[in-house]
A = this chain, B = another copy of it.
Amino acid sequence: MNKEYNTVRTTSSSEASDDQPFLPINPFAEPITTMSSANTNHHGRDDDMIDIDFQNTTNDRSTNSVMNVDLVNTHYDDFQTIDWLKDLMRDRFRHRLLRTKSHQSFFNKLLMYHDAWSGWLCVLLVGLSAGVIAAVIDIGTNWISHLKHGICLNAFWLNREQCCWASRQLQYDNVNSEECPEWFTWPQVFGTYKKGAGEFLLSYIMYIFWSTIFATFAVLLVKVFAPYACGSGIPEIKTILGGFIIRGYLGKWTLLIKSIGMMCATSAGLILGKEGPFVHIACCCGNIFSYLFPKYGRNEAKKREILSAAAAAGVSVAFGAPIGGVLFSLEEVSYYFPYKTLWRSFFCAMVGALVVRSINPYGNGHDIQFSIDYSVPWASFELLPFILLGILGGLWGAFFIKTNIWWCRFRKNSRLGQYTIFEVVCLALITAIIIYPNPYTRMSMSELIKRLVSQCRVEDMIDLCDYPNAQFYNGKSKGSIGLAGPGVHHAIWKLFFALIVQVVLVTFTIGVKVPSGLIIPSMSIGAITGRIIGIITEQLAIQNPTFILFRHDCSKEENCVTPALYAIVGACAFLGGVSKMTVSLVVIMFELTGGLNYIVPLMAAAMTAKWIGDGFVRGGIYDAHIELNGYPFLDNKEEFNFTTIAADVMRPRPEQSSSLAYLTQNGMTFLEVENLLKETTHTLYPVVVTREQPYLVGQIQRRDLQIALKSQKMQRFRLSQSLIQFTSSSETTINSDYEVDNQNEQRLTTNPEVIRIGNLLDQAPIIVTDQTPMETVVDLFRKLGLRQAFVTRNGRLRGIITKKDILRHVQQLTSSNTETTYYDN
């Protein structure tokens, strides 16, 4: 347990100097061999473990003759795909063993109860830790952000609100309302007390200074300590959950650096969000805690159950949306999501949300991040602008995915990729210079969204609420009534410039080497667009109350259009266009805003955005990044729609001269086997009856074979001509009634120079016929989580298909549509 855990850490830190973690280690750069090759450069460590494994394996086998699969060997190499089927079977075997033992002693019974509870305990710990970390990050970000503007001289560790709160009982949730004496802005600190251009300039410069410092700190941290901590991490988590090993990606260094880096990057004012990375952080927690429970830590397939729950908790703590988190995990990131996981994920997400809520980082008593305080009904004609927002969202999504991927590819392939620190510093500098003058970009994006989705109130003095003729009922307006004043016109222009700035900057920001999410930027852009369109619609309705569209719903006294609602719908549409989420998006928005009444506008916008977006780009930004990075992710949402058959995909290809590496059941000598192992690097070898009759008998792991040969070498001499035989004595009884090929075997059992290693043979390989449509094969791989399947024709072994073969095949078939054929280089 500790061993593996250490491996994670050391791998993570040893690769810390690696600049672009995924470029050099291209999982597809292997030479085209029949099977995915194992890394052979870890021999020393592998051999250390091998003896233990071998011991355990044989012990386990003695209790259960049926399961002659390697049951304890959980060690995959880095960048390998996992075999879900075997992993899950291994877990069931472990569970059965535990249950059998539990009758023997009270301690074993306790162990079994611990085992049954460990899943719940683990997700509880994950939920708690994710909640605490999220709250800490929220509080930290708040503090660092305020540091850009000033400092609490008496107690520098307090942010502005806390500082003012500490000094006098200021209204808690209103940051910008009044001055407070304890809080010193930078001009005040430097003695420039008088208002004017000088003060503005000094503030401006300090803002730029701090932004650059924070951004530099973030990128340096990431570059030096944990290169995996950059980006949102969601594409990689999708890949990992799809059954791929990336050592160190979910390690504790990544967790630590990502948490700190995220605070700095967000506080630097870069156009990025911290909600996406929360998913990565929660998954790190999931990975780390899973090592406390060997059931999960030592079994990659089972570990993914915990990671799915952790992903749900990540969204839940980011948005306070537990149900949305579970649906996000189910819809967007998870691959294998059994029924049990659903309930555990929900529990994990709930715990996370409750922890955040009780620590209360938003500091406003509300449980909901962007809570809306109105429930004005929406009129049916408003569906038109909502659908327009959906269309804009879809277009934005397509535009963003295309340009962002183009820029990321340019960065990767040009010399820019070597100057990541320089890039981030420049970006931070430019961002700070651009965004400070505009009050709508100067405030944090969360704050901006919060303001845009709120209705105007009596006390609101900002220009967005400049409705001179407005009458407020009960402190709120029932819709913002009346013609807009000049303030609103100014606000629209400022918002429009904010929109342009954010659109341009976010495209270049997402993908730089700092922790960065794009959920909040997308929502912010959407909310701005929505609010602008909302105000336009509102003013149109006021100025043309008799127009056919408005006549039915809008009376003269009451306004029918609520621009704030448009901001929510816009946020939903733009996020939907980028992420292509559907149900989870609507549920998250619904939980985020608490607006039960607006589910139809939200759905309409999300659906339109997805449809329009899909017309330009298939899949969301996460899928695009998976493709860009060439991760071996076998998408289980896209339908495989080609007419190829297994014979078209299997290796060896008939047109190539290479032949399949295999072992025969009885007829190979020690030397021949040893040579085969030297010549090839496959992780797995098929075993057939004879060379002339290549009927598939089973499969054997390279590792097992190596161990067996090694242990034989130590015991005997003059082995080279000994025959290796893959039939065990127990098997002959099973064979008796049906087999005709065992004359050979009978001859061999009398030969003293026979080495029997039939107990290492896995007699349950997955077989498909060569005429099987690839649709079925892909279904098999997706749904059972296979790593490989053997192809036979009339029982004869003809080839093998691995998961990577399938990915390569899909890539080849679709390569006419995409520009790169990244899988082939």
Q: Given known contacts A764-B771, A793-B738, is B776 in contact with A350 (CB within 8 Å)?
A: no
Q: How many chain-A residues does the 8 Å CB contact rule pick out?
A: 75
Residue of B96, B343, B737, B776 touching A654 (CB-CB under 8 A): B737
Q: Given known contacts A689-B794, A771-B764, is B738 in contact with A637 (CB within 8 Å)?
A: no
A582 on interface, CB distance cutoff 8 Å: yes
A600 touches B689 (CB 8 A): no
A457 on interface, CB distance cutoff 8 Å: no
Name A648's closest neighbour in chain B (CB-CB): B66
Segment 751-777 of A: residues with Cβ below 8 Å from B: 763-765, 767-769, 771-773, 775-776
For the complex formed, measure the closest distance between the CB of A809 and the CB atoms of chain B, giving whole angstroms.
Answer: 15
B582 touches A354 (CB 8 A): no
Residues of B near A583 (CB, < 8 A) are 326, 342-343, 346
B92 touches A641 (CB 8 A): yes
Residues of B near A780 (CB, < 8 A) are 784
14 pairs from A and B in contact (CB 8 Å cutoff): A88-B779, A92-B639, A331-B339, A343-B582, A346-B582, A346-B603, A695-B794, A696-B794, A697-B794, A739-B793, A764-B772, A779-B784, A783-B784, A795-B796
A254 on interface, CB distance cutoff 8 Å: no
Q: How would residues 724 to 754 of chain A score, 1 for a CB under 8 Å from any chain B CB and 0 otherwise? A: 0000000000110111010000000000000
Q: How would residues 198 to 233 of chain A score, 1 for a CB under 8 Å from any chain B CB and 0 otherwise? A: 000000000000000000000000000000000000
State the copy count for this chain. Answer: 2
Q: How would residues 635 to 648 of chain A score, 1 for a CB under 8 Å from any chain B CB and 0 otherwise? A: 01101010111010
Name A322's closest neighbour in chain B (CB-CB): B599
- Shortest Cβ-Cβ A-B pairs, 3 listed: A795-B795, A695-B795, A763-B771
B354 touches A647 (CB 8 A): no
Residues of B near A412 (CB, < 8 A) are none
A347 on interface, CB distance cutoff 8 Å: yes
A792 on interface, CB distance cutoff 8 Å: yes
For the complex formed, measure the closest distance between the CB of A378 and the CB atoms of chain B, giving whole angstroms.
Answer: 13
Residue of B67, B586, B641 touching A95 (CB-CB under 8 A): B641
Residues of B near A735 (CB, < 8 A) are 793
Q: Given known contacts A599-B322, A771-B763, is B643 in contact with A776 (CB within 8 Å)?
A: no
Bound-complex Cα distance A17 to B550 (A): 58
A594 on interface, CB distance cutoff 8 Å: yes
A596 on interface, CB distance cutoff 8 Å: yes
Residues of B near A603 (CB, < 8 A) are 346-347, 350
Residues of B near A171 (CB, < 8 A) are none
Residues of B near A343 (CB, < 8 A) are 582-583
A67 touches B643 (CB 8 A): yes
For the complex formed, measure the closest distance between the CB of A87 and the CB atoms of chain B, giving whole angstroms.
Answer: 12
